[in-house]
Structure 1
Amino acid sequence: MPENTREALVVAATQLMDVGGLEAVTLREVGRRAGVSHMAPYKHFTDKEALLAAVAARELEYLGSAMTKIQEHGRPAEATLRLAMHEYVTWALAYPVRFKLVFGVWSTDTGSGELGAAAGTARATLGQIVAAAQRTGQLPPGDTERLAALIQALAHGAVDLALAGHVSAQGKGNAGPHDLVDDLLGHLRASAG
C-alpha cells in the first residue's frame, strides 16, 4: 500500500497505463482509482504530463536500483553488465507502455527535476558498470559514456524490434533481445582482447 497520496496516484496511473495504455490515464480516473477526490491529483501534479513524468521517474529509479543490486553481488564486471542489460530487456518486454513512456519525448520543464534526476542516476549506474568492465579488460577502452550508450541503444532497439515482431529467437533474426545483448557483449569482449 502506498505511503502517501502522491505515491498512491503514481501507482494508480501505472496500473491504468499497464491495462489501457497512456490514453487510459486521466487525472480524474487516477484519483478515483487511488480512492481520493477527483481534485486531489491536481494538488500533486499540474497536469497529466507531470503525473506521467512521476511514473517515468519511478520506473527509472527501479532500473537504477536493480542495476545497483546486481552490481553489489561482486560478480565479474562483464557478468554484472550482462545481468544489468538482461534486467533492462526483461523489464521493457514485460512493461512495453512503461518502456515507451520512459524513453519518449519530454518537454524541457517535465524532463528536469525528479525525472531528470532519476535518468541521471540510472545512466550513471550503467556508466559505472561499463567502466568496471573496461578497467578489467572485458570491454574495450575508450569513451565510457559512448560505449554505455552503444550497449543501451542495442538493447533498446532490440526490444523495439521484438515488440513490433521483427526479431525473435524462433523467427526473424534468429535471436531475441537478450540474445542480441549477449552477442554485442561477446563482440565487444573479443575486440578488447
Structure 2
Amino acid sequence: MLDQGGEAAVTLRAVAHQVGVSHNTPYRHFTDRAALLAGVAEKDFAAFSVEFDEIGQSDRTAIDKVKAALRTFAYYGESHPARYRLLFGDPDIAKRGGQLEAVAMTTFASFASLVAGAQAAGYLPAVATPTMTSLIYANLHGLLDLRAGGRMRAEKGFIDVLDSAFLLLDLLRPTMDRASKCAT
C-alpha cells in the first residue's frame, strides 16, 4: 500500500481491509498508524543490514563492497520511493527512538563496517569511520533526494546518482594513491 499510494494510503482501517480482517484487528498489533509505519521502517532497515552483511561476506574488493551497498540504497530509493522517504526523510520516524532507532543504527553500523574495510584497504581516507560513513551516506541520500525532486539535471553538472556517488569515492581516495596510480 505504501509503495502504491504513498504514506497517505496507509491507515489501519485500509490495512485491515487489504488483508481481509476486521477494522479493529490491526490495533491488536499496532497502537496507531505511526506504529504501523515504524514497523515497516524497522523491517526495511533490518533487510538493509542483512544485505550489507552479505555484501561484507562476498569476495568483492573493499571499495566494490561499498559500491554494492550504495547500489542497494539507490535501487531501493528508485523502486520504493515512498518507503525510501519513510526511512530517510520522515522526521517523525527519525525521532521515534526505541526499537526502530536500534534497527536503524544496526543498519548504519553494517554500512560503516564496509566503509571501514575500504579505509583499511587504503581506498578511503583514514578519518573517523562514523564521519566517513556519514559523509558517504549523506551524499547518496542527497543525490537520491535531488533525483526524486526532479532537480538532478545535466546542466547543473549532475550525471547520475550512482556515477556521482562513485565519483565522490574516487575523489576521497587518498591523494598518494591517486598520484601513484597516475604514474603507472
Q: TM-score, structure 1 length as denominator? A: 0.85
Aligned AA (2:91): V
Mark the runs of 5 or more structure 1 residues left unpaired by the alignment: 1-15
Question: C-alpha distance in 2, partners of 1:143/1:61?
Answer: 24
Matched, 1:110 2:110: no
Consecutive aligned runs of 4 or more in structure 1 exceeding 6 Å deviation: none
Relative distance call for 1:118 and 1:143 in structure 2 (3 A) is same
Question: C-alpha distance in 2, partners of 1:107/1:73?
Answer: 32
2:78 is matched with 93
Question: C-alpha distance in 2, partners of 1:24/1:83?
Answer: 32
Mark the runs of 5 or more structure 2 residues left unpaired by the alignment: 178-184
For structure 1, which segment, 30-39 or 103-112, has the greater mean C-alpha deviation from structure 2 after superposition?
103-112
Structural RMSD (CA): 1.7
The equivalences for 1:30-179 within 5 A come to 30-103=15-88, 104-106=90-92, 110-113=96-99, 115-168=100-153, 172-179=156-163
**Secondary structure of residue in 2 paired with 1:59:** helix
Aligned AA (2:92): W
Asked if 2 retains the 8 angstrom alpha-carbon contact of 1:141 and 1:192, the reply is no
1:7 is matched with none
* Alpha-carbon offset, residue 128 of structure 1: 0.5
Can you list the C-alpha shifts for 1:111-156, whole angstroms capped at 9, x where unaligned? 212x112101101101111111111111110110010000000000
Aligned AA (2:34): E
Can you list the C-alpha shifts for 1:48-84, whole angstroms capped at 9, x where unaligned? 0000000011111111111111111121111100111
1:19 is matched with 4
Aligned residue pair count: 176
Question: C-alpha distance in 2, partners of 1:112/1:184?
Answer: 33
